[in-house]
Structure 1
Amino acid sequence: MSGLRRLRVRELHPNLLCILCGGYYVDATTIVECLHSFCKTCIVRYLESSKFCPICDVQVHKTKPLLSIRPDKTLQDIVYKLVPGLYPNEMCKRREFYTSHPESIPATPEGGGSDLGRYYTLPDDPVSLALSPASSCASTSPSSPPHNPEYRNHVHLPSSPAKMTRSYHQVSSDLPSALTFHGCPTCYVGTMEADISSGK
């Protein structure tokens, strides 16, 4: 593990930025012949006047260069994961565009600004957890009052960063005083000591 080090996003910029517009990739698209990537709108606009890759001057296609470009979903997912706030920002801009230009029809729901339930989260993003024993999961509804006997082992952890420390949960007023919260150091999921010792 001594060979590992944390990188800053700006150290990865050469791999995340389109050289044509200077911004982060939006709808990352790759030229099949040389595997260089660009924003879709940037490379389509560029190929209207040139048949060569803007980086390496390889000929893309003699007559129809748009046949030699492909969407790079993996690269786009990496960009969205590494740049906080970029994905929701982009979806908001797309929704605004299609609201002001109703005659334009997006090719996909995501193209129109629908996020399709995708989540690009980081360890510091807020999350809300509810823990309950497996036997009572089906019978306990989220709106059950805390005094309900079926609800007594159910612990709701307030909205908190995904990588919350153990000490916060130990002093949390939401936890019954007889229980101690233990967090898993590998996956940031926790359970109560009472559940560990009872084998639940």
Structure 2
Amino acid sequence: MKESKSENISENVVCWLCNSYLIDAVSLSECMHSYCRSCLLQSLDKGGGTFRCLKCDRPIARDLSEAFARDNTIQNLVYKSAPDVFWQELKQRGEYLKKRAVPSDEKALILDKKLVQLASELCAPNEVVSLCLEYISPGLPDNEEEESEVKEAKQVDENKPSTVADADRWEKQEAQMTSFRRLFLIYSSKVDNR
């Protein structure tokens, strides 16, 4: 099976129309290309009655309820890979509700229960994650051999699931060890040069 590259992931979480992360993601039923719901509706309004995918030019159904559907999987992927986008969207929806008198049925749409529920799932302390940390030296040692010793990739055991809390604890321990190694290298290079 061919591995996905990060470029391919970003192609799927970025709206082709606004070049920003997908917000209220929808996928076209004919070709499965994804857009922000508002971007797609605005472009269809400007299209003059022709309904085609803007990316592949494939015709889509005239009945918009059949033409596209919400894509919660991709939207969750956007929010989990870029939590700032999620918090910004939640903030904007809250500000919108404060500024306008919105009927309760519209308020239910704006305060999407799945969106609010996702807040508890974003980077939860017990969430299983795959993690690879790499320390890159700020350039202390001049010797390439010493630099390769300082600059080492640390990877969590892939066979054992790790949680965000485990990764946070491991990262703090690693930072303490890195500081110790850096001080040791500086001290030992001063001693060797004397």
1:121 pairs, out of 120, 123, 132, with 123
What secondary structure, in the 3-state scheme, does the structure 2 residue paired with 1:70 have?
A: strand
Partner secondary structure for residue 120 of structure 2: coil
Per the TM alignment, residue 87 of structure 1 is displaced from its structure 2 partner at its CA by 1.3
Deviation at 1:108, TM superposition (A): 3.1
- Judged with a 3 Å threshold, the aligned counterparts in structure 2 of structure 1 residues 4 and 17 are, in CA distance, closer, same or farther, namely closer
Q: Which residue of 2 aligns with 1:16?
A: 13
Q: How does 1:1-200 map to 2 (within 5 A)?
A: 12-50=9-47, 51-61=51-61, 63-103=62-102, 105-108=106-109, 110-111=111-112, 115-116=116-117, 118-121=120-123, 161-163=165-167, 164-165=169-170
Rounded Cα–Cα distance in structure 2 between residues aligned with 1:29 and 1:56: 16
Q: Tell me how far apart the structure 1 counterparts of residues 86 and 108 of structure 2 sit (CA, whole Å).
A: 18
Structure 1 residue 103, shift from structure 2 partner = 2.7
Structure 1 residues 60, 101: CA separation in 2 closer, same or farther (over 3 Å shift)? same
Distance 1:120 1:162, change over 3 A: farther
C-alpha contact (below 8 Å) 1:81/1:122 kept by paired residues: no
* In 2, Cα distance between equivalents of 1:43 and 1:4: 30
> When the two structures are aligned, how many residues end up with a matched partner?
129
Which structure features the higher share of helix residues?
2
The answer as to whether partners of 1:94 and 1:113 remain within 8 angstroms in 2 is: no
- Alignment RMSD (CA, Å): 3.5
CA–CA distance in structure 1, aligned partners of residues 109 and 72 of structure 2: 14
Letter in 2 for 1:30: S
With over 3 angstroms needed to count, the CA separation of the structure-2 counterparts of 1:101 and 1:57, relative to structure 1, is: same
Gaps of 5+ in 1: 126-159, 169-200
| TM-score relative to the length of structure 1 | 0.53
Query: Which structure's relative contact order is higher, taking Cα pairs within 8 Å and 6+ residues apart?
Result: 2
| 1:98 alignment partner AA | L
Distance of aligned partners of 1:46 and 1:76 in 2 relative to their CA distance in 1, 3 Å threshold: same
* TM-score, structure 2 normalization: 0.55
* Aligned-partner residue type, residue 101 of structure 2: P
Structure holding more strand per residue: 1
Q: 2:93, 2:110 within 8 Å by CA — same for their partners in 1? A: no
Q: C-alpha separation between the residues in 2 aligned to 1:22 and 1:80?
A: 16
**What letter matches 1:70 in structure 2?**
A
